[in-house]
Structure 1
């Protein structure tokens, strides 16, 4: 019997129509809304679409992002500080929707297959994973509610999942019998204890096996069969007889499996794991024939696959994207992929370099439309998807039709998952304008190369280098491409509340000789400002003057007496590295400097104890 798929409807969305009737047209975008009830069938569909598409776009709806203004990704963030911020957000907030869109670009057309998965970290197996507390920001929840998000559906019908790290731990906690995959390696000579153990269980297995196969026992009454089963020690695994052999060590497991090779025609060994990860028993299942044995092994394999699917849940989608090795297209990739790594792979590593290396093993090609936008002058300052698409329509002629061959469930007023289509369309438009051919080509050596390679795996849109976070070049304003070294930046706080950047700049001008040359001031938040010294060495001179209390400069001394404090970029880097996520940056810098002072004091005492060591003070035992 051949199952034929339903006739697929086609809808062509031209960019001109989108321009004239933007809001109406977005309501026509029908995206598969996937919950627990239709997850299995949707999983098979999206796997097929991933296989036959060239790219996969992803987008997420989270319960929050950054709690304070200074905790957002800022232009003067290095790759390291940006990662620390993204790591904090990914570990604190939760993903409730994950949109995935396999797509291909053919000339001036995007062929897209969008799905929006509703997620919830539910403890399906009552093993304490992945349920955990997470934070929510009211502004994010309000926006989701305005878009028609049903929180009841999310909680009760959202798809659960386990990360790869959690799955390994879960298999031990669930404790279901698993087929034996042991490669038995035993020494040629066995100890006396080994020999006794093997002979004892061999005798027991033979006795049980013969009793199960004895045709006379089949005609016995149920009571007698039950008593016999109790005496022999047998049970049933489904409809087949089984026997449990208790073991005390992994060596005994190997001995038992080696002994059972003598009965390989009709006995199938299973391992019963403990919650700690070892093996508590070897379960032997008796099959009626060789054919029944093969059938039973297939049943076991099917049961294991089904359980693994239940354990993985939505992560099946993540694994499918990874297995395809297709380029993944995102918007703000650092934000999204710290969430993906944290929720679906393993806990986030401590550094940006380790994160990049770990992620590349799973997703070798990640493309961020933000980096493509930086190549187009008018888009350099834009970070919003809708604003970027609107700007492109007004300034460039790049008609891109959007074709959605298979329609999802129509839900009037439901706009969930539309960003993933915007990312797909924006990506195609940017490639068209930049004259980039999205398809990969085979070079002279037979390797697949693409013009997009130089845009892959760049996670921080602001920083140019992560090798030296303190001396590297950064920007201070998004609308100004002028770069400055991190060592020429100074963080300033302790000024009176309500002051503007211009007012603070006027106060600083003339307070010290370094402010007689070109410098700029920008407020990071209401408590802290950043001062940019465009002349090398001026930042160090100012910090030295602050450290000395401004004794050689009266105006600066007055500002210090009023509470003004200053720190170099390393203090800010330390704040992010240590996770001092206070509401105000000034409070976080105070904590970082306090920790630095205490460490320096401890180090000084340690050095002092070493320096004060004097051989004249040593006691010579021979003199006593």
Structure 2
């Protein structure tokens, strides 16, 4: 039977059974997601000045603001050496009805999804519901033997004041007492249907009686309430309470929706593969596991407990230096063209993605990601040292999920700051006297007022010795460590705290380029159009 690619609440149970059946034998799982946004304002824009901790906090803020739309999972199973089978799933996900909150979507993301044929109606009306593991545990803890009702007020209910309501309650209680006082009547007693307010009043009266238990006739109906009351012995009462608790647990598990997928993934702990996947990890954790930790270190610890092996194909391809373009679609095409050693076919029970152009559908992007990983691995481009390393756009660092983060740039760093917004790359390069030397300098822009000069010098002292005292570009400078320490101390944007210019004399123009790419805006726009607005190529140069 053909497995439907799009998984919605109508066919979720069937897909879950298939997923549970396939997971034990698969080699790895590729993941991709579609979100409702990944930028809030300038405070969340990535920049070269970010430490990994700062970048984490920026991304954490974004994941708490926006929602998930699709989760793509593609399982890959080794059939024989150099031959894999793929099993792609494209889950539409939408918060469960009982979860309070709001849906946020950025305008640019809405246009992006429209351009890529996102089915918004399917997402909202048919998306697989979910609660987080944190919410799941909180509800489990609430299942104590104390209340017999699904809803049991902890405080005394509000007094009934309307005459019609008084008559209703008095009549219902009178019939209840007649039933209770009739020793021969052992049948379950049904209270009249009512709203939530009157329900609280009636259950308050029922709870005054000894030797009875109560339950809701339809626990799923949150608008109409019918209470059933039964006479029991103390032993029967305790047994019924335990049975009800187990029923609640079973019902909660059934209604937890996509959370059950997370539980399966955590149980089997298969290698998890993504492309430029830091946002995928954060959204996945935030929406299905629970609130993100306040620190990057704690996030790494909690993530590692559940997913000990993670691979980022963006980082792998970037480190290989064999690809001029590491955006997912182009990378997939290049890998398929240049690395035929390993073949990947989609299992016959699943729709064929192999000739598809469904970019930016999470299931398809997960499939492409897994194929890229398989090809890179077969070409010896996925060494063990790159495991648990994540690419960060416009960053000096590689984020290490299982250890200390690593600086990408080799050589001494000089932070230049406090210059005019009209300053260009060439102006900053002209600050350094490098004619006649073999020193190489690259400029990494932080914002309009600050940048980082990455030099090939061995030490910071060697680098600043090259600074021209007669430079024409007015700016100040410091070491990277001094700059980040100041950032932590003041907890404010770098440009605002390090912008005191020093008057300088005229100097010669730099020999390198005179026009810089405006990283802050161009990078963000590129994020919005490539790999779910998460990629940009200029940061790789």
Provide the TM-score with structure 2 as the length reference.
0.66
How far, CA to CA, are the matches of 1:344 and 1:528 in structure 2? 38
What does residue range 154-173 of structure 1 map to in structure 2 within 5 Å? 154-170=123-139
Which stretch of structure 1 is more off in the superposition, 70-79 or 32-41? 70-79
Q: CA separation in 2, counterparts of 1:578 and 1:96?
A: 38
2:298 aligns with 354
- The 5 A counterparts of 1:185-334 are 216-217=184-185, 232=209, 234=212, 236-237=214-215, 241-242=229-230, 263-264=234-235, 266-268=236-238, 297=243, 301-310=246-255, 312-334=256-278
Aligned match of 1:501: 425
Contact between 2:82 and 2:342, CA under 8 Å: does it hold in 1? yes
Which residue of structure 1 lines up, in the alignment, with residue 347 of structure 2?
404
Show the counterpart of 2:332: 389
Aligned to 1:339: 283
Of 150, 166, 191, 2:119 maps to 150
Per-residue deviation at 1:420?
0.8
- Match of 2:21? 48
1:76 to 1:66, Cα distance in 2 relative to 1, 3 A: same
Shift of 1:516: 12
Q: 1:523 to 1:372 in 2, by over 3 A?
A: closer
1:569 aligns with 2:472: no
Query: 2-side partners of 1:173 and 1:316: how far apart?
Result: 20
Contact kept? 2:213, 2:237, Cα under 8 Å: no
Q: Note the alpha carbon deviations across 1:169-188, whole angstroms, 9 max, x for none.
A: 45578999779xxxxxxxxx
Tell me: CA distance 1:423–1:517, structure 2 relative to 1, closer, same or farther (3 Å): closer
TM-score between both structures, scaled by the size of structure 1: 0.58
TM superposition shift of 1:55: 1.6
CA contact (8 A) 1:492 1:531 kept: no
Equivalent residue runs for 1:508-587 within 5 Å:
508-509=431-432, 519-538=441-460, 553=469, 555-556=470-471, 559-560=473-474, 564-566=475-477, 568-570=479-481, 573=484
Specify which structure has the higher proportion of helix.
1
How far apart, in 2, do the equivalents of 1:116 and 1:330 lie? 15
CA contact (8 A) 2:414 2:460 kept: no
Shift of 1:58: 0.8
Q: Which one has the largest radius of gyration? A: 1
Q: Any idea what SS the aligned residue of 1:484 has?
A: coil
User: Does residue 397 of structure 2 align to residue 492 of structure 1?
Assistant: no
| Alignment correspondent of 1:34 | 7
Q: How far apart, CA to CA, are the structure 1 residues paired with 2:39 and 2:386?
A: 26
Deviations along 1:310-363, one digit per CA (max 9) or x if unpaired, are 2x3211111111111211111123222122222222322233322211101111
Corresponding position of 1:109: 83
**Would the alpha carbon gap of residues 242 and 428 (structure 1) be closer, same or farther in structure 2, given more than 3 Å must change?**
same
Does the aligned pair in 1 maintain the 2:271–2:310 contact within 8 Å? Answer: yes
The answer as to 2:30 corresponding to 1:57 is yes
The number of equivalent residue pairs is 436
Q: Does 1:589 align with 2:494?
A: yes
Q: How far apart are 1:308 and its partner, in Å?
A: 3.1
Residue 489 to residue 367, structure 1, CA distance change in 2 (3 Å): same
Distance 1:336 1:38 in 2: 24
Q: In the TM superposition, what is the alpha-carbon distance from 1:79 to its structure 2 partner?
A: 4.1
Change (3 A) 1:541 1:409: closer
Shift of 1:458: 2.0
In structure 2, do the counterparts of structure 1 residues 504 and 70 end up closer, same or farther at CA, with 3 Å as the change threshold?
farther
The answer as to whether partners of 1:130 and 1:162 remain within 8 angstroms in 2 is no
8 A contact 1:366–1:456 mirrored in 2: yes
Structure 2 match to 1:608:
none
Name structure 1 gaps, 5 residues minimum: 1-5, 10-30, 180-207, 245-259, 270-283, 286-295, 437-451, 476-482, 582-587, 595-624
From 370, 376, 388, the counterpart of 1:424: 370
**CA shift digits 1:381-435 (9 cap, x unpaired):** 543122222223443433513123323599x996622101101211221222229
Give the Å deviation of 1:51.
Answer: 3.0
CA spacing shift, 1:235–1:79, aligned 2, 3 Å? closer
Judged with a 3 Å threshold, the aligned counterparts in structure 2 of structure 1 residues 303 and 376 are, in CA distance, closer, same or farther, namely same
In structure 2, relative to structure 1, the CA distance for the partners of 1:55 and 1:534 (3 Å cut) is: closer
Shift in alpha-carbon separation, 1:235–1:71, aligned structure 2, 3 A: closer
Per-residue deviation, residues 441-493 of structure 1 (Å, max 9, x unmatched): xxxxxxxxxxx754432234663687777xx6432xxxxxxx124xx231434
| Residues 453-492 of structure 1 mapped to structure 2, 5 A cutoff | 454-460=385-391, 463=397, 473-475=407-409, 483-485=410-412, 488-492=413-417
Among 434, 449, 452, the alignment partner of 2:380 is 434
Distance 1:464 1:103, change over 3 A: closer
What are the superposed Cα offsets for residues 219-247 of structure 1, whole Å, 9 maximum, x if unpaired? 9x999xx9x99995546436874479xxx
CA offsets, 1:136-163, max 9 Å, x none?
250x322221221122322232233222
